[in-house]
Amino acid sequence: MQILDGKKLSQKITERIAKESAELKSKHGITPGLAVILVGDDPASHTYVKMKAKACKKVGFYSIVHEMPESITQEKIEETIILMNKNPNIDGILVQLPLPQHIDTTKILELIDPAKDVDGFHPYNFGRLMQGLDTFAPCTPLGVMELLKEYNIDPKGMDACVVGASNIVGKPMAALLLNTFATVDICHIYTKDLQSHTKRADLLVVGVGKPNLITADMVKDGAIVVDIGINRLEDGSLVGDVDFENVSKKASYITPVPGGVGPMTIAMLLQNTLKAAKKRIQA
C-alpha cells in the first residue's frame, strides 16, 4: 500500500505557481488577483477563506475578501459580483459556499464571468468539461486528477466508482474520469446495494461527508482509494469517508485524511487563478 500524499504534491505545485507568478509580474506587470465573497459567520467557511488568503499571499497573488452579513440581500451580492466582473485586476472570483437559504445560489454562480470562474461551477465551464474541452474544472476533482498523475496512475480502461453526485465534486469527478476513458459508475444516497458497486472498482473515489461509510468489505483487493470526505468527530479529530485503518490494508494506493485531497483543492484554486491571469496577456 502506498500513500497518495497530497500535502507533499501541493507544496511542489505551490512552489511552481509562485515562480510563474513572479515571472508574470516581472515580464508583463501582471499580478494574479483573486476575490472571495464570504457571507455569514460559518466557522468552517471562515477557516477555508483564511487558508485561501494565506495561500494567495504565499505565491504572490493579490487577494481580497468581501465579508458580508448573514442578512445580506441577493441584490447586494449581485452588485459586488458585477463590479468584480468588470475589475481588470481581478482574475478569479470565488463565492464561498454554502450561502444562506434566502440567497439563490444558482443565480449567484451563473452571474460570475465564466472567464473568472476559477471554482469551475458556472454551467458554461461545466458544459465544456463534459465535452472534454479546455476549461476551469472544479478544484477538488481537478486535485484528484493531479494526484493520480503524480503517482503515474492512468485511469484509462479502469472501472472507476464515484460515490457522491454533487455538482461540486461527484459529477465533475465523474466527467474528468470519463474524459480519461475510465468506465465510470456514479453512486449516491439513493443507490441500492452500494457495496455491489464499490466492490468492482479498480479506482474508488468517495466524497459524501459520512465518516467510515466505506469499510474494508466494500473494497476489492488492490483498489486505488481516494477519500475526498472530511468530517470532524466529537473528539475533534478529522476523518474521511473511508475506514482508513482497515481499507488501507487492502488498497494499493490510498489518500489519508487530512493530508490527501484537501491540500490539493487549494493548490488547484491557485493554478486556476494563474491560468485566468495568463489570459490577460492574450487579451
Active-site residues: which are they?
Answer: 52, 96, 119
Q: 274 vs 33, 133, 237, CA distance in Å?
A: 9, 18, 33
Which one, of 275, 158, 174, lies nearest residue 228 by Cα?
174
At 15, list the grid cell. 512552489
Which one, of 101, 112, 123, lies nearest residue 171 by Cα?
123
Angle between helices 261-282 and 139-150 (to 10 degrees): 100
The pairing of strands 224-227 and 203-206 is parallel
Q: 6 vs 34, 146, 274, CA distance in Å?
A: 23, 9, 20
Which stretches within 151-225 are classed as H helix?
170-179, 194-198
My answer on whether omega of the bond before 98 falls inside 30° of 0, hence cis, is yes
CB atoms within 10 A of CB 176: 24
